DNA sequence: CTACTAGCCGCAAACGAATCCGGGCCGCTG
DNA sequence: CAGCGGCCCGGATTCGTTTGCGGCTAGTAG
């Protein structure tokens, strides 16, 4: 009962060797003859020997573990990113330790400490939206633990072992609006959330710039600051429909509000996309399920996770002594044109 | 640069004490005077001392870490459960290490080994659907590491430190069908996936038993074995609509196929729920977004994760020597009646 | 026959913290 | 004054691995 698992010294004793030799044999070191290696390997097999990672990590100072800190593991985006992270990390031989900040800055801080105590080799973070000071990342930087921010990054926090990966929201929005213009739309409305959030700010800017670049006017009454929910979208759309000259397209800063807009359009006996084209942002799962199917912008969530891990790995391999911090990576979003915006 | 973090011996030296005393002081041991405790705590604060969890874990044989192994972190269900697990684990002071099996039995096995090498104190597993032999869990059982299966469990694998938590699919289905009957439906169709999967088997059985319990006949032509996707649902529904006597309700074993069914009904110029009521299963996020909103069964994903951790904790605390293995926990699902099945 | 090299292997010291087993020192009691 | 018992503390060991260094043996060259 309660069978303690075989340790390296157990192997040593039963084979009449020293622990060092066992260790070297198992790691295929040159200083051990093939004969003994074979014996060791066979016994290890028989006893189902598995090295104690804790001990190894302690000795080597490397734990083979990455820490991940996200606001939460719900919704669409974060699970996808985490999936990308976990997959890539597994491929590179890392374990993954996961924490949630619950959008709370203090929990974020605690979790950062926790991860550092666990001797993780690198940390991947997406900030809680209540985080405004970054003292807790100072310790990470000081100890030269590679740190990668993803999606929700802190802009003015750099260091030789700090980097970031995010998506080009501006570019995504620009593509959307350009696409709508190509479909013949000229009065394109925009739903946006509060502009102090990066994502909305950048998408909003992309919207404006795309309009200008194509010589279209920017009409402030077409820009709706609304709650980015289904209801919010419906309400905003209703308001737009009351305008003397109604819009012929809507670019919503997220998919949920876009769905709301579609429903409002439909219940006003108008057609999507014929009368009003609609495009969302994020490529949520349900965009494929609506009628019409919603055009959206894919955020490459999984790719983001994968890239973040690769970036971390690069820092890990090159060490902190390189020329300048690694450049942040900006992923190109991908416009997915579906029924809701295809006038043809 | 590369500031090694303060260790317990560093504290000892600068205070002129021994490491043992520091250790005891920090863990508030009786053998240390309040005065020294205060000094130690203060210095620890100043140096931002954080204990090295690896070392402590190695020494104590307890890592404060739980291992989680899921098929993948995508879709709706698993992220939710993982969220529940992570949240509850954090509350109980555990770290969480996450792996994905990618529905591959061999990876599952590798990851189980990995988790055990990482000296996790307990393991939470949802099986890969390709897993048919369970040898890799044998080692877990032998070492008396608490093991909790959730959702996808292995039925005939018990032990003093093995348990499971799952949802009562049968009960959920029974509730759905009863609800439909109460709405006045008498010809209730059923979409199901392959019956060798527990979830479908149990939901199917719930369907049959509910019908019988209310004195309704079971009509095999109303039971559709179809691909449980949107397309599959649409196709199945089309077929049903061709019947001489078409159904007046559909209970689909998942939400996606239910959505497909609704679309088929609508494009046949029939009304949901007036002509045909539809109920899905899983309470996916998009059930709130369809028109009409889809009735479904909530699987209590988060609760499942939470419960699983609590179960593990209980095993951990009581030790392996108790009377019999802990009883598996079966969660009650919750029927959510929305527009798609409310005839009133 | 000596010397040197290569091939294998063991010794011992780490890594950082927890703990068993004491050991001083002080004060109290008989 | 001897003895005893608390109170605080330190030394040494332990967890399981890794690793620098040195040692032993056999074989080969000089």
pLDDT in tens, B210-259: 999 999 999 999 999 999 999 999 999 999 999 999 999 999 999 999 99
The reported pLDDT for the residue numbered A1 is 41
The reported pLDDT for the residue numbered A146 is 94
State which residue has its Cα closest to the C1' atom of C14.
A59
Give me the total of CB pairs closer than 8 Å, taking one residue from chain A and one from chain B: 141
The separation between CA B80 and the C-alpha centre of its own chain, rounded to angstroms, equals: 7
Instruction: Tell me how far apart the alpha carbons of residues A174 and A185 are, in angstroms, rounded to a whole number.
Output: 14
Taking CB atoms and an 8 Å limit, are B57 and A54 in contact across chains? yes
CATH topology for A8-51 is 434 Repressor (Amino-terminal Domain) (1.10.260)
Residues of chain B with pLDDT > 70, as a percent, come to: 97
Site of tokens 């008498």: B186
Q: How far is B117 from chain A (nearest CA, A)?
A: 5
Q: How far is A189 from chain B (nearest CA, A)?
A: 22
Taking CB atoms and an 8 Å limit, are A144 and B2 in contact across chains? yes
CA of A15 to C1' of C4 (A): 32
- Greater confidence (B324 vs B287) lies with B287
Q: How many angstroms separate the Cα of A281 from the Cα of each of A76, A209, A287, B91?
A: 12, 17, 10, 34
Minimum-distance CB partner of A3 among B86, B100, B143: B143
Taking CB atoms and an 8 Å limit, are B99 and A118 in contact across chains? no
Closest nucleotide over all strands to B60 (CA to C1'):
C18
| CATH 3.30.360.10 describes domain A169-299+336-341 | no
Mean pLDDT across the stretch B192-220? 95
The reported pLDDT for the residue numbered A328 is 92
Mean pLDDT across the stretch B115-143? 90
Asked if A330 contacts A284 with a C-beta cutoff of 8 angstroms, the reply is no
pLDDT-wise least confident of A211-215, B97-101, B158-162: B158-162
CA of B32 to C1' of C28 (A): 22
pLDDT-wise least confident of A129-143, A164-178, B46-60: A129-143
- Greater confidence (A2 vs A125) lies with A125
Query: Would you call A24 helix, strand, or coil by DSSP?
Result: helix
The reported pLDDT for the residue numbered B3 is 61
Taking CB atoms and an 8 Å limit, are A99 and B118 in contact across chains? no
Mean confidence (pLDDT) of chain A: 93
The reported pLDDT for the residue numbered B197 is 83
Q: B289 — contact with chain A (CB < 8 Å)?
A: yes
Q: B243 — contact with chain A (CB < 8 Å)?
A: no
Q: How far is B295 from chain A (nearest CA, A)?
A: 16
pLDDT-wise least confident of A47-61, A299-313, A318-332, B76-90: A318-332
pLDDT in tens, A193-220: 999 888 899 999 999 999 999 999 999 9
Mean pLDDT across the stretch A117-137? 91
Taking CB atoms and an 8 Å limit, are A65 and B97 in contact across chains? yes
Query: In degrees rounded to 5, what are phi and psi of residue B277?
Result: -85, 150
In this model, does residue B1 exceed pLDDT 50?
no
In this model, does residue A99 exceed pLDDT 70?
yes
Residue A140 half-sphere exposure toward CB, CA atoms < 13 A: 32
Quick one: residue A292, left, alpha or beta (phi over 0 = left, psi -120 to 50 = alpha)? Answer: beta
- Greater confidence (A36 vs A132) lies with A36
Q: Which residues of B touch A72 (CB under 8 A)?
A: 83
In this model, does residue A96 exceed pLDDT 90?
yes
The reported pLDDT for the residue numbered A162 is 92
- Which spans in chain A are helix H? 8-15, 19-26, 34-46, 53-60, 77-91, 105-117, 135-142, 169-182, 198-213, 230-241, 255-267, 301-318
CATH number attached to the domain at A63-167+302-331: 3.40.50.2300
Query: In degrees rounded to 5, what are phi and psi of residue B160?
Result: -70, -20
Residues of chain A with pLDDT > 90, as a percent, come to: 84
Q: Which nucleotides of C are covered by protein (CB under 7 A)?
A: 7-12, 14-20, 22
User: Where are the domain boundaries for CATH 3.40.50.2300 in chain A?
Assistant: 63-167+302-331, 169-299+336-341
B63-167+302-330 CATH pick, 1.10.340.30, 3.40.50.1820, 3.30.2310.20, 3.40.50.2300: 3.40.50.2300
User: Where are the domain boundaries for CATH 1.10.260 in chain B?
Assistant: 8-51
pLDDT in tens, A48-78: 999 999 999 999 999 999 999 999 999 999 9
CA of B67 to C1' of C24 (A): 47
The reported pLDDT for the residue numbered B321 is 65
The reported pLDDT for the residue numbered A118 is 94
User: What confidence category does residue B291 fall into, taking pLDDT thresholds of 50, 70 and 90?
Assistant: confident
Give the residue from B44, B70, B83 with the most A CB atoms within 10 Å of its CB, the best one to mutate: B83
Q: Which of residues 45-84 of B touch strand C (CB under 7 A)?
A: 49, 51-52, 55-56, 58-60
Query: In degrees rounded to 5, what are phi and psi of residue A335?
Result: -75, 125
CA of A24 to C1' of D20 (A): 13
- Closest listed residue to residue A287, CA positions, set B192, B230, B266: B230
Q: How far is A3 from chain B (nearest CA, A)?
A: 6
User: What confidence category does residue A3 fall into, taking pLDDT thresholds of 50, 70 and 90?
Assistant: low
Q: Which residues of A14-31 are buried (b: 16+ CB within 10 A; e: fewer)?
A: ebebeeebbbbbbeeeee
- Closest listed residue to residue B251, CA positions, set B228, B231, B268: B228
The reported pLDDT for the residue numbered B24 is 95
The reported pLDDT for the residue numbered A321 is 65
The reported pLDDT for the residue numbered A225 is 97
Taking CB atoms and an 8 Å limit, are B119 and A63 in contact across chains? no
The per-type count for chain A, helices as H runs and strands as E runs, is 12, 12
């Amino acid at each position: 009962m309660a069978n303690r698992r075989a340790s390296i010294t157990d192997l040593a004793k039963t084979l009449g060797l020293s622990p060092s030799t066992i260790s070297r044999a198992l790691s295929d070191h040159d200083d051990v003859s093939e004969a003994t290696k074979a014996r060791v390997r066979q016994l290890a097999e028989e006893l189902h020997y598995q090295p104690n990672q804790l001990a190894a990590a302690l000795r080597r100072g490397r734990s083979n573990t990455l820490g991940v800190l996200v606001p939460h593991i719900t919704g669409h985006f974060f699970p996808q990113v985490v999936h990308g992270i976990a997959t890539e990390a597994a491929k590179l031989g890392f374990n993954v330790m996961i924490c949630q900040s619950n959008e709370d800055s203090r929990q974020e801080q605690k979790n950062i400490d926790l991860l550092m105590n666990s001797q993780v080799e690198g940390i991947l973070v997406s900030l809680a939206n209540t985080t405004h000071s970054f003292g807790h990342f100072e310790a990470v930087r000081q100890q030269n633990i590679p740190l990668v921010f993803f999606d929700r990054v802190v802009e003015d926090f750099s260091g030789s072992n700090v980097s970031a990966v995010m998506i080009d929201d501006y570019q995504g929005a620009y593509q959307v609006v350009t696409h709508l213009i190509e479909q013949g739309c000229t009065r394109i409305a925009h739903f946006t959330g509060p502009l102090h959030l990066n994502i909305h700010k950048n998408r909003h800017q992309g919207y404006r710039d795309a309009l200008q670049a194509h010589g279209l006017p920017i009409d402030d009454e077409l820009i709706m600051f609304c709650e980015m929910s289904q209801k919010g979208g419906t309400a905003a759309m209703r308001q737009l429909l009351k305008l003397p000259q109604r819009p012929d397209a809507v670019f919503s800063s997220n998919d949920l509000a876009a769905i709301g807009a579609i429903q409002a359009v439909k219940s006003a006996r108008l057609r999507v996309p014929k009368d009003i084209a609609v495009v969302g942002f994020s490529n949520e799962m349900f965009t494929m399920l609506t009628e019409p199917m919603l055009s959206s912008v894919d955020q490459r969530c999984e790719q983001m996770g994968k890239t973040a891990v690769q970036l971390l790995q690069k820092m890990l391999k090159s060490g902190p002594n390189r020329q300048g911090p690694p450049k942040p990576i900006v992923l190109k979003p991908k416009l997915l044109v579906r029924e809701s915006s295809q006038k043809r």
